[in-house]
Amino acid sequence: MTELTVCEQSSSACAAGMLADKDADSLREAITQNLDCADVAGTTSRLLLRGDDAQRPLITAQLDACLIACRDARDQCGRHAAHREHCRICSTAAERAATACEGLLSALRR
């Protein structure tokens, strides 16, 4: 899923940008959240690529986890978006990925 791949990449890039920041120590929580989001979004994307109906419970649980990770990254980066372009990009990508996860979860739970 494209939204998850973009989220994975932008979260990783944002974490790298924050690590390079002179205030990196104060951004520790946001950096960790971005790395978690990148990992979860990437894993979710790969599960969706190879999943089938037999994997529905696993995929549903993974989408729930991805939704949480994306919302957390969106919120964390949203706090820094006014001063850091990579945070604005990450926050937007995380929001789109969260919306995609919500849509898939809704379809799976019908």
Q: How many beta carbons lie within 10 A of that of residue 65, not counting itself?
A: 16
- Residue range 50-69: average pLDDT? 92
Helix, strand or coil for residue 16? helix
**pLDDT of 105 strictly over 80:** yes
pLDDT at 101 over 80: yes
Domain residue ranges in the chain: 2-108
Average predicted confidence (pLDDT) for the chain: 95
Q: Which bin fits 16, alpha (ψ -120 to 50), beta or left (φ > 0)?
A: alpha
DSSP string, 55-107: GHHHHHHHHHHHHHHHHHHHHHHHTTTTT-HHHHHHHHHHHHHHHHHHHHHHH
Q: Which CATH class is domain 2-108?
A: mainly alpha
pLDDT digits (tens, 9 = 90+) for 17-53: 999 999 899 999 999 999 999 999 999 999 999 877 7
Query: What is the value of pTM for the model shown?
Result: 0.93
